[in-house]
Every structure is written in structure tokens, then in C-alpha cells.
Amino acid sequence: MHDLRKKILLESGKTISKKGRASRSQSARASPGSSPATSRNASRAPSRYASEEEDISDSDYDESIASSVLNSDDGEDAVSFTWIDRLHSHIEDLVDRKRSSTQGRESSLISYTNLLRHHYAAEHVETRFGELIPALMRSVRSSSNIEETLAALRALTVTILSTQSDTVYGHVYPTLKGVCHDSEESSIKVAAIEAMCIATMCGGGSLTAAEELMELLLEIIESDGHSIEAGDNGPVVCAALAGWGFVATNLDDLHEQSETALEAFTEQLDSIDVDVQIAAGNNIALIFEAAREYEEETEESWNLQYDHHRLVQRMSALARESSKSVSKKNRKQLHSSFNSIVTSLEHGRGPAYSTTKRVVNPHTGGKKTDISRGEDVEFGYREKIRIHNLSMVIDSWSLSARLEMIKPIIGGGLATHYMENPAIKELLSTAHVELVQTPREKRSNASKKSYKRPIRGYHNMDS
């Protein structure tokens, strides 16, 4: 046990100061000899896993473990390790399963995933890729521990997204599909769906593989999850909807898939799960966006066999949902999402577009002609993501679908991967990016303008 605790402490990169060692030894002398032997175990912080919406950094996770062993006699030997050292250590632990325990693999999987989220580590992972992928798949396939399986699925997904291997699809997809069908845990089904989508689109899957995956996901949606033994399971159906949208954005032509898919998505508008309704609405908007783009590029009509007016009416009703059976928070989410979707269908715009008019001030970037001619300007796209000094405008449903898939996988490391990871750059290549001034630059520019401004009312007394 001491060896394991020492190893975790070493990986955290934490050291103990002389003052800390002194205070610890003093407290040890002051403690009565009859202290319960279980007090050390009771004081340990339990292992903690980041949820789908939550993201913890690798340093936060390692520190939370290390803080529970600072009173260990092995602490004096701890030395600081870089994130690269810790990454290689975790890879070694995952590959060498003979000397690892289930709990140890869980810890290594979570720390490994967090390191890959917050650092672009392709060159370090690829050197062990041939050993690492089989090791991850063993944890996915044969582990009887739910937490280890879930951690392995997330580790596998971020590994594929970080390395852009074009051969991994064939090695992992059959197992992922089997896990998705056979697991009794909805969280594992969701993680398996995400992994299948990333493996297909970023791991060497073909066009045929993408179309087959879309058919599988559509079966899950049409059956309300019953096709994979997850009947009426909202998170699983949501994952299938998000996955279908993500894969669809990578296809040049959605003609064959659009008719059946549109019918399935429209039926899901009547779901009792708000998240399912919104995900279905987003995919409907995605299909109509694809149809508009196709007609603009080819000048040919894409005749969707659907009552457009009736569909808009149904979505407009959701945008005004006032039933008390829906919570206030969910009603607000429904109103915002379906107002955006209705605007998109009626005006041919992307998500979160505001048609509200505003007056343009020529002194703050507008053109003088805008005011002199009485021309109003719409607020436009309101959804943006800040990446360092860049602002990414979310102006298409295609871009939104890709982000919805990527963000839960990478978490807080989106900025790092956007700047360094070719796979993420490619997925988000259609985004319109604007340069944003930092607060320091704004203050500097403001001071320059203030300095150059003439002083009013000043008269030369010598004249």
C-alpha cells in the first residue's frame, strides 16, 4: 500500500517543504499512541470522476489524490515530474496489466484522459499506439467494473481524436458496437456511441462505414432506444441524435438519409424529454441547412417531401411552451432553442441568429451610410466561443453539431487542441474567427486616443 501511495504522490509532482515535514513530525509526537488504526484510511479522499458536463484538469485530479497521502512517511522522497513524465508513466501502467489492479487502472485511465484533454500529446502517444489501443480495448471489453469500462471508453475516444490514426477504426468498431448493445449501463452506451462516431470519422472509417453508423443511430432514435436495450432512455437517444448530426456533417450528400431521418426527428419532437426534443430540432435544422447549401451550389432543387409550414408551426408551439408539467428551466431552454430553429427555417440562417434591428454608430465601426439612408442592421449571430484572443462565431448548424460532439470529449482543453491538433482544426475549419483585443490592448488604445484628443477651451495666454 505504501508503494502505491508513493507512486501516486510521485505522479502528482507535489513535494513537501521542510516546514511541512517539521509540523507533521510534531503532530505525530503529540498524537496519543492509542489513536485508531483506521483514522488514516478514513481521511483519504475517495477517487472522483468528471461527469459529462464537468471537467477537471490533470493537476486538480492528481492533487486531490496526493493531498490524501501527504502524511505518509514516503512523502520526503517525492520529486516534481512534468506532464510528459506522468503521461508516459500512466501509459506504462495501462500497458502492463499484470502488475495493475482495477482501482489502479481506473486512476491511470482518468489521469491519462485528463492529460490528453489539456495537452496535445500525439507524438508521445503514437510511439506506444500499438500497445496502448489493445490495452484500452481490454478494459472496454473484459472489465466487470463499470467505472473502469467508462474511463477506458473516454480514454479511447480522446486518444483517437488526438492521434488521427487512419487504421484504428477496424480494430475498435466491432467491440464498441457490441458494448453499446450488451451493456446494461446507459452511461456506457452513451460513451460507446461517442467513441464509435469519433472512430468512424477520425480513425479511418470509410464513407460506407459512416452511412452504416448513421443507420444504426437512426434505429436507436426510431425505436426510442429499444434497439439496443435502452428503451425510453433520454441520454442514450440524445447521444444517438448528436452522433447522427456529427456524422452527417462529414457527408457531402444527405439525399438518401434525409427523408427517413426527418420523419424520425419530427416524431421525437413529441418526446417528454426536453433534451431529446432539442437534439431532434437541431438535426431538423441541420437537414434544411444542407438542402439550402446543396441548392446554392448546384442550382438544383432538393425536394424534401415534407409539410414545411406544418413543421414550423409545431416548432413555434414548442418555442411558446407554457405547460406546468415542464420545469421553468426546461421551458426557458425550449423557448431559446426552438426560437433559434424557427428563425433558421424561416430566414435561412444558422443557430442563435437574432433578426432584431439595431442602429449602427459610424464612430464605433459602422458606416455613415447606414444611418444617413435609414438602414437598420440585424444583431446577427449571438453564439460565440472564445479561444485565447480569438472569437469563433457559431454561424451554421454543421459547426454547432461538431462542437456538440467535441466539447464533452476534450472539455477544458478545446483551446489547446484548436491551436495545435490538426484533427480539431479540420473539424472546425468552416468557422468564422475574429481577433479580439485583450483588456490590456483596449486600455492601451484608449489611452492613446485620450492622449491625442485636443483639449477644449484652451487659449494661449501669450497671444
Integer Cα distance of 61 and 158 in angstroms: 17
Chain mean position to CA 345: 26
pLDDT tens per residue across span 273-287:
999 999 999 999 999
In this predicted structure, what is the pLDDT of residue 8? 45
> According to the model, what pLDDT value does residue 125 have?
95
The percent of residues above 90 in pLDDT, for the chain, comes to 54
- Grade residue 456 by pLDDT with cuts at 50, 70 and 90: very low
Of the listed ranges 55-69, 152-166, 198-212, the least confidently predicted one is: 55-69
Q: What pLDDT band is residue 363 in, cutting at 50, 70 and 90?
A: low
Note the pLDDT of residue 256: 86
H helices of 77-163, where? Answer: 83-95, 102-118, 122-126, 129-142, 146-163
Q: Pick the more confident residue, 447 or 179.
A: 179
In tens, the pLDDT along 84-109 reads 999 999 999 999 877 778 888 999 99
The confidence score (pLDDT) of residue 445 equals 62
What is the predicted pLDDT for the residue at 364?
A: 54
pLDDT band with cut points at 50, 70 and 90 for residue 17: very low
Q: Are 115 and 87 spatial neighbours (Cβ–Cβ below 8 Å)?
A: yes
* Among candidate residues 304, 302, 265, the one with its CA nearest the CA of residue 283: 265
Mean pLDDT of the chain: 80
**How far apart are the two ends of the chain, measured CA to CA in Å?**
90
Any idea where the domains of the chain sit in the sequence?
1-163, 384-449
Cα separation of 108 and 93, whole Å? 7
Residue with the bigger pLDDT between 451 and 438: it is: 438
Residue 397 pLDDT greater than 70, yes or no: yes
The residue with greater pLDDT, 18 or 232, is 232
